[in-house]
Amino acid sequence: MYEQVCALVPNAKLISISRNQRRPRPDLPWIANCPNAIDLSVYPFRRKPGGDYLLFLGRMSPDKGAHRAVAIALETGLPLKIAAKCREPLEQRYFDELVRPHLGDSIEYVGEVGHADKVELLMGARALINPIDWEEPFGLVVIEAMACGTPVISTRRGAIPELIEHGRTGILVDSYREMERPEILELADSLDPSELRREVELRFSQERMVADYLAAYEATIESVARTSCHS
């Protein structure tokens, strides 16, 4: 897609939302990196640990890994709540084959949720598990959980290592199977919710994103103006 944009607009300038997003085509005219942000006013902060259940938020697809979340719940014996989009035929097939057979008292599919229900689930979770298996360019759900003070345990894929500092603002693992280890969950339990919230306030606020984009636009305008003066 980016190549097509640059072909149509020869002087196009690109802004990435993560450094990882640039990896397939580092040669393109990237001018700035402006990570996504959230409105912190609509994400309440919990100062104490949440409940006993694990939470999966996303869409029903192999790359997001709801079936891996199920495997983690089955191995650990911990309750799991799954909130995920399941509208498209491929999503429904994936759900029917790999998720639905395991639903029961301890593994619950709550459907696709709106913002209020999503926040309630995040506030009540012991941890958000993010067993992705693709080069995700950002991962908004990660900073949503952090804003609520909920620890995130994620595979080290895509841009996630840019969002989480292992052992301080979240837990990173190389394989989702590591999420089944008691010490990984204990490490997540030990994280300071205030530190998670503070990280989002510092790095992923709307104010910071707006400032980043304005700086990128101003730098681009100045560059074009200098080029025009010398042409």
As annotated, the residues of the chain forming the CATH 3.40.50.2000 domain(s) are 40-203
Q: How confident is the model at residue 6 (pLDDT cuts 50, 70, 90)?
A: confident
Please write down the long-range contacts of 11-19, taking CB distance under 8 Å and 24 or more positions apart. 11/224, 13/220, 15/213, 15/216, 16/137, 17/137, 17/138, 17/159, 18/137, 18/138, 18/158, 18/159, 18/162, 19/159, 19/162
CATH superfamily of 40-203: Glycogen Phosphorylase B; (3.40.50.2000)
Strand partners, 162: none
Model confidence over 21-38: pLDDT tens digits?
999 999 999 999 999 999
Q: What is the pLDDT of residue 10?
A: 78
* pLDDT > 90 fraction of the chain, expressed in percent and rounded: 86
Model confidence over 47-102: pLDDT tens digits?
877 689 999 999 999 999 999 999 999 999 999 999 999 999 999 999 999 999 99
Q: What is the pLDDT of residue 231?
A: 58
Q: What is the pLDDT of residue 229?
A: 66
